[in-house]
Amino acid sequence: MMGNDRRDLFSEPQTSDPDFEQRLLADLECIARPRHARWDEFGLLAVRSMLQVRLRELGPVEEHHFAEGRDAGVNLIVRLPGQRTDLDPILVAAHYDGPLGSPGADDNASAVAALLELGRRWVARPPVRPVWLVAFDQEEWGMVGSGVLARELREQQQQLRLVVSLEMLGYTSERQHYPLDTMRAIYRDRGTSSPWSAIWVRRRCCCRLLRA
């Protein structure tokens, strides 16, 4: 992303929003509950229904149903037109299913709350390019929802300018603990998402994206 595209997406906000934190926290509290596709199915259905309501406030919601082996799910997609519909869209996504045995406040309710807030800002101040907001399902089991959508977009020869995947944005601890030691080599030993940490931090990447 270069030139005007970069300035449009990453420009610093000029006004403050006193309700910013309250909206993020309210969304986070609604999403953060056990919602695993195989062990907390009713929780997942409840969160999906809540997201459909929230996303409809931004625009028409496409329910992208898929089945991959024994896994089936529903990706939720809102396509914001932007100022120039002839340009390739930017896809911004977060998965809404959660990990086993956890309310998943960080993984990944924090990112879904951010996705909703980004959508509100882009509706109020449309960016130049179209933006597709995607809430992925079935990501905890091998990134199934995103994989299916990526394959279909490739088959359709749909061009994307940029893909931004929001993941675990609220982690602030000095040290991360993993169920498997091998995960430390991939995800490191310290949280690195400080621009988004704890949802309440508004500066840097968070605010720049919100002004796109």
- How confident is the model over 146-155, as pLDDT tens digits? 999 999 999 9
pLDDT tens for 186-197 read: 666 655 443 333
159: confidence class by pLDDT, cuts 50, 70, 90: very high
Q: How far apart are CA 72 and CA 37, in angstroms?
A: 9
**Structural tokens at position 164:** 């931004």
| C-beta neighbour count of 57 within 10 angstroms | 12
pLDDT value of position 183: 66
DSSP 8-state secondary structure symbol assigned to residue 161: S
Extended beta strands in the chain, E state: 61-68, 71-80, 90-95, 131-136, 162-165
pTM of the model: 0.81
Instruction: Specify the higher pLDDT residue, 197 or 99.
Output: 99
| C-beta neighbour count of 102 within 10 angstroms | 15
Q: Is the dihedral of CA 180, 183, 189, 194 positive or negative?
A: negative
Q: Is the pLDDT of residue 182 over 70?
A: yes
170: confidence class by pLDDT, cuts 50, 70, 90: confident
Of 157, 116, 110, 117, which Cα lies nearest the Cα of 135? 116
